[in-house]
Structure 1
C-alpha cells in the first residue's frame, strides 16, 4: 500500500501543484481587471466538464483495476487482458457519445452566461480521449503498478499548463484578442494534455507487453468468461464508481446552480460581485485544497486492488488490516496537510491570487482547508467500500449525504453566504462518511484501539503544528513588514515556505519522537530519527 501510495501521491501531488502554480502567470497575463471574471468562467466550464467526464469514464478505470486484480489473484491473467481490450472499445464509444452530448447541450448549461458556451465546446474535445486514457491507467493499477499512472498524470498536466499559458499570452498580449477566446484555449489545453498522457501510457504498455504475455502463458486457463459477461461485469462494477467518483463534482455543481439564485434572493450584491465570490470559493480555494485532497485520492486508488484481492481470497484479517491502515495512513498525511494549509492560508492565498479581496479570500481558503478532510475521507472510504463489493450500499449512503447537502444549502447560504456552501458540503460528506464507516466496521471489523490511539496523537500533533505555523506567519509578516512590502507575491511566498517548514518540522519531530511514524511507515524511518538525533 505504501509503495503504491508513494507513486500515486508523487504523480497526483506534482500534477495538482502544477495545476495550482499555473494560476500565478495566468493571473498576470489576464491582468487585475480580467482575471476574476476569466477565473469564474473557467471554473464554471470545468465543473460541468468534470461531471460529464466522470460519466464518460463511467467508473471504468477503478472497475478495471478491481476486476483485473480479481482475476490476477485467481491466476487468470488472460481474462484481465481481455477485459482491458473489451473495456477500451467501451471507453471509445462512451467518449464519443459524451463529447457529442456535451457539445450539443452547451447552450442549456450556461447558468445565464453565454460566454460559457465556447468553454464547454473546447472541453468536449478532451472527453473524446480521456476515457481511453483513464481505462489504461486502471489496467496498470490492477497489477498494483502505479508508476505509469503517476508519470502519465504528471506529463498530462505539464503539457496542459504549457499550452494554456502560451495560448493565453499569444491571444491577449501578442494578438490583443478576446479574453473569452483566451479562456477557451486555456480549457482546450485539457485535450492537449490528455494526448501526451496517453502517449506515455502507450509507451509503458509496449515496453511490458512481453511480461504480460508470459503471465498469460503461465495462467491456470480454467476460467472462460464470455464477452457479454465481461461487458456486464464492467458496467455493473462501473456504475457505482460513476456516482461515487462524481461525488465531489456533484456537490460543486449543486453550489454552481444554487449559489447565484440564493444570493440574489438574500442580498443586493451585483452579478459581478457574485461572480468574484463564486470564483474565490469554487475556483481559487478549490485549486489549492484539491492538492491535499489528491493525497486521499492516491490512497483510494491504491487500496481498491488490495482490498479486492483480500476479498476474493476471503482473507478477513487482511480486510480488517487494510481498512484500518487506510484510515490511519489517510489521517497521518491528510490531517496535518489540511491544518497546515489553514495556518498559512493568508500568505499562500496572496502568493497565488494577489491582494484583491485579500481578507475574504484568505478566510475562505482557511475554511476550505478544513473542509478538505471530510472530502478526502469520502474519497478513501467510498473506494474501500467498492473494493469489498459494497457498491450499492456506498451509493445509498452518498445519496443520504447529498440530501443533507441539499436540505442545508439554502438556509446556510442565506445566512452565511459563500461560507454556507462550504458548511453544507462538510455536513453532506460527514453524513455519508459516518454511515460508510459504521457499515464497514460492522461487516469487517476495525482495529479500534490502534485507530483511536493513532487518531488522538495525529490530531494533537497537527494542532500543535497549526499554532506553530500560525505564529510563524504573524512573526514573519511583522519582521518583513519593517523593511519591505510583506503583502507582495514574492514576500508572501517566502513567508509561506518558512512557516510551512517551521510547522512541518514540528509535526515530523513529534511523529518520530512518539514512534507513530514507525507504525504507519515502517521501521525504515528510524534512520531519519537517528539523523535528526531524536530519541
Structure 2
C-alpha cells in the first residue's frame, strides 16, 4: 500500500511539474509580445544571478531533507526527521535573508559584468540593477518554502508540493503579465520598469505557494507530531550529527542543481563582450533573450518529466539502496532511462525540424533570423539536460554525490574554456556548441559512475535508444516532407500560417512516432501493458 501511495504521489508531482513548466513557457509568449526579445534579455540578467543565489541560500537542503527524512522514516525513526525540519526552517530563514541582502546590494557590481559596455547595449545599467533588486526580494521566502516541500516529499507526501507548485506558478504569471501590460500600455511604457516588476512576480508567487504549504502543514500537524513522538531510540541523534549528514547530502545537491543556471551564467557574462569583439554587438542582447528565455523555455517543456523524476527519484532510490533491494534499484534505473529517452529523443528531433514555424507561431516573424536558427541548434539539447538531471539524481540516490559534482565541474570547465573562443570564431552558435560539449562530458561521467557503482548494464538501454532514434528520424523525415508541402499553401510569413505548420507538423510527427513504437511493442515495454498491441 505504501509503494502504491508513493507511486501515486510521484505521478501527481510529475504532472504538477509538467503543468508548471508548461505554464512557465506559455507566459513567455505574451510577455515577449509586451517587452520584446530585448526585454527577455533584461529579464534573464536579473533571473540568472537570482537562481544562483537561491541555490546557495538553500544549499540543496530541500532535496537533501527529502532524502534524509526518507532514510530515517524507512527505519521507523520519525522524530529525527521532524527535529531536522524544525531547525531547518530557522536555517533557511537566515540564509534567505543573507542571500537577499547580498544580491540586493551587489546588483550595481553585477550589472557591468553582464553588459561590459552600457552604450553598446539597449538596456541601461539602471534598468539591470533595478531588475536584479526586484527579484532579490523572493529570496526571503522561497528557501523556507523549499524546506517544507522537502519534508513532505521525504515523508512520501507529494500532493503539497504539487499543489503549491502550480498555485505559485499561476499567481506569478498573472502578476507578471498584469504588471507588464499595465506599465507598457497604461503607464509610461518603459521596458526596464515593466521587466523589473515582472521579476518581482517571483516574490508574489512565492507568497501564494507558501500559503498553500502552510495550509497542508496545519492540516497534517496532528499526524506529524504524533509520529515524531514515537522515539526510535533512547538517545536521539544530536543536531550536530544530523547537520553533518545533511550537509554531506545537501552541498552536492545544491551544486548539481545549479547545472543549467551556471551554464547560462557563463553565457550571460560572455556573450555580449565576445559578440561585440567581432562586430555583432547589435544582435547580442536579442540573442541573450532568445537563448536564455525564448528558446530555453521551449526546451524545458520536454525536460519537465526529467525534472519531476529527479525530484522524486532521490528519496525512492535512496529507500531501495538503504534497504539493499538490488532488484528494485536496477528496475528503477532501467525504467527511468527508458522513459526519458522515449519522450525526449523525439522531442529533441522535432524541435530541430520545426524550429522556424514554432518560433514564429510563439513569438514573432521579426526575430525569426536569430530565433529560428537558435532554436534549431539549441532545441535538441533538451535530451542532454534531461539525461544529466536524471543521472545526477541517481548518483545522489546511491550516495555518490561527489561524482555528480565532478561530472558537473568537468562540463563547466569545458564550457568556460570554450565559450568565448567559439563565440568569437563561430558567432552566436558558438555558445550553443560549448554547452553541448560541456553536457556531453558531464553525462559521460555520470553514466560511467552509475555503471560502476550499481553494476548496471547499458546494453539493453543502448539497443532501445538506437531503435528510438531510428523512429525519431523516420518521424522527422515525414514531418519535413509534410511541412515543406504545406508551405506552398501556407508560406512562413505570419503567425497564423506558422501555427498551421507547427501544429500539423507536431501532430503528424506524434502519430508516426506513436504508431512505430506501438507496432514494435516498445510502447508496451516503456509505458506498460495498457499499450500492448493486439495479437
Counterpart of 1:128 in structure 2 is 140
Counterpart of 1:251 in structure 2 is 263
What CA RMSD, in Å, does the superposition of the two structures yield over aligned residues?
2.0
Separation in 2, partners of 1:87, 1:468 = 53
Counterpart of 1:29 in structure 2 is 34
Pairing 1:175-324 to 2, within 5 Å after superposition: 175-216=187-228, 220-221=232-233, 224-265=236-277, 267-269=278-280, 271-324=281-334
Counterpart of 1:353 in structure 2 is 363
20, 23, 26: which one pairs with 1:18?
23
Counterpart of 1:502 in structure 2 is 508
Pairing 1:338-487 to 2, within 5 Å after superposition: 338-481=348-491, 486-487=492-493
Cα distance change on mapping 1:453 and 1:67 into 2, 3 Å: same
Pairing 1:516-535 to 2, within 5 Å after superposition: 516-526=522-532
Counterpart of 2:65 in structure 1 is 64
**Structure 1 unaligned regions, length at least 5:** none
CA contact (8 A) 1:324 1:447 kept: no
Counterpart of 2:183 in structure 1 is 171
Separation in 2, partners of 1:302, 1:240 = 17
Separation in 2, partners of 1:334, 1:135 = 30
Structure 1 position 155, deviation (Å)? 1.1
Separation in 2, partners of 1:475, 1:215 = 64
- Describe the superposition over 1:421-455 as per-residue Cα deviations: whole angstroms up to 9, x where unpaired: 11111111111111111122011111434212321
Cα distance change on mapping 1:499 and 1:4 into 2, 3 Å: farther
Structure 1 position 211, deviation (Å)? 3.6
Counterpart of 2:118 in structure 1 is none
What secondary structure sits across from 1:208 in the alignment? Answer: helix
- Describe the superposition over 1:102-122 as per-residue Cα deviations: whole angstroms up to 9, x where unpaired: 001000111245121000110
**Structure 2 unaligned regions, length at least 5:** 1-5, 116-123
Separation in 1, partners of 2:147, 2:347 = 30
- Describe the superposition over 1:127-168 as per-residue Cα deviations: whole angstroms up to 9, x where unpaired: 111111111111122133322222211111111111111111
Asked whether 1:103 is paired with 2:104, we answer yes
Pairing 1:80-159 to 2, within 5 Å after superposition: 80-110=81-111, 111-112=114-115, 113-114=124-125, 115-159=127-171
Q: TM-score, normalised by structure 2?
A: 0.92
Separation in 2, partners of 1:210, 1:516 = 46
Separation in 2, partners of 1:219, 1:456 = 52
Separation in 2, partners of 1:336, 1:219 = 51
Separation in 1, partners of 2:132, 2:358 = 30
CA contact (8 A) 2:33 2:363 kept: no
Structure 1 position 230, deviation (Å)? 2.1
Cα distance change on mapping 1:471 and 1:72 into 2, 3 Å: farther
CA contact (8 A) 1:321 1:446 kept: no
Cα distance change on mapping 1:357 and 1:170 into 2, 3 Å: closer
Structure 1 position 228, deviation (Å)? 2.0
- Number of corresponding residues: 519
What secondary structure sits across from 2:237 in the alignment? Answer: coil
Counterpart of 2:520 in structure 1 is 514
CA contact (8 A) 1:281 1:418 kept: no
CA contact (8 A) 1:321 1:447 kept: no
Separation in 1, partners of 2:10, 2:514 = 19
Q: TM-score, normalised by structure 1?
A: 0.92
